[in-house]
Structure 1
């Protein structure tokens, strides 16, 4: 276990900076919006996508708190399916003219196929279609070793790096 949490913040301030990923042979792959807030399905996705990366925050929320987030007009969640099975998701959170990629990732069995760059590209394109001026995301050294590289290859630029002792919630 690492002793220092390193968080990297990235942003895109112009849709022209976006470099979408194209993957070949995407048969059986689809992305659908989670139009009706479904707390238990969301928790399943969050747990499955985040367990390797020690995601905890949303698991600590009450049913009411999580329902409020999922039902907010500022939250959008798109789920990646492979042959009908949920493979990952991307969650956008809009605040005025800025959108955050709040959560993004794949279930472990779906990594290494190019699906992450495809899902991220989908989310970036969707965010820029919301008439925003800034898209941002943060990642840390607990995330996949490919996360930062994927963000940079899609056109994000680093604007801040923070280091702190590893919070107890990650032990």
Structure 2
């Protein structure tokens, strides 16, 4: 489960988001046993899933940016080099790049550092691949690899900055919601972390 961080409970009603910030609703989900198999299809010819063996922070950030910029993924872009390098060097963290002709088209990251559990940290595709069935194949890979270990819990979180179908996709995959949070963070497009034209579906207020 999520750690007790002392985050205050929101009262009913509206609250003002500080200028230059984003507010997003974060839903955490879990599965406590392997789900029934869901049919998938092999990756198309030329598309391959590559395991990255302890990548350098900038190699990882390039993958993270290529896949996540349109969904305003920024957490690993603002993480200090030392902290990110420690994650990437840990053998209990598995990172995969979905590539074609040298281009990063998707990523998958699994974190087994908590005994008996696996976190699906990131699973994403560039926008043009959403709806092609490749996401199902990637998720099937994630589920298979997670439950191949001696775990009793597989969990993930998604937010309202992700693709609007993400939450339903996770639920169809066998995850059940267990917690909801609201996160407020600086808009990464305003400080240069991500280009200003990223995620045009999210208003840029600054």
- In which range does the TM-score fall when normalised by the shorter chain? 0.7 to 0.9
Distance change >3 Å, CA 42–CA 24, structure 1 → 2: closer
Structure richer in helix, relative to its length = 1
How far 1:132 moved relative to its partner?
0.8
Cα-to-partner distance string for 1:60-84 (whole Å, 9 max, x where unaligned): 1222221111001221101212355
Q: Runs of 4 or more off by more than 6 Å in structure 1?
A: none
SS of residue paired to 2:55: coil
Cα-to-partner distance string for 1:72-130 (whole Å, 9 max, x where unaligned): 12211012123553211111111100110111101233333121121121111111112
Equivalent position of 2:52 in the other structure: 34
Alpha-carbon distance in 2 for matches of 1:69, 1:82: 26
**Structure 2, gaps ≥5 residues long:** 1-16, 188-204
In our comparison, the structure showing a higher alpha carbon Rg is 2
Alignment match of 2:148 (pick from 102, 118, 129)? 129
Alpha-carbon distance in 1 for matches of 2:142, 2:170: 12
Alignment match of 2:75 (pick from 45, 57, 74)? 57
Please, what TM-score do these two structures have when normalized by structure 1? 0.86
Is the Cα–Cα contact under 8 Å of residues 110 and 146 in structure 2 kept in the other structure?
A: yes
Equivalent position of 1:75 in the other structure: 93
**Structure 1, gaps ≥5 residues long:** none
Residue-pair matches, total: 168
Cα-to-partner distance string for 1:35-79 (whole Å, 9 max, x where unaligned): 232322210111122212221211112222211110012211012
Structure richer in strand, relative to its length = 1
The answer on 1:140 being equivalent to 2:159 is: yes
Alignment of 1:77-96 (within 5 A): 77-94=95-112, 95-96=114-115
SS of residue paired to 1:36: coil
Distance change >3 Å, CA 129–CA 91, structure 1 → 2: same
Equivalent position of 1:119 in the other structure: 138
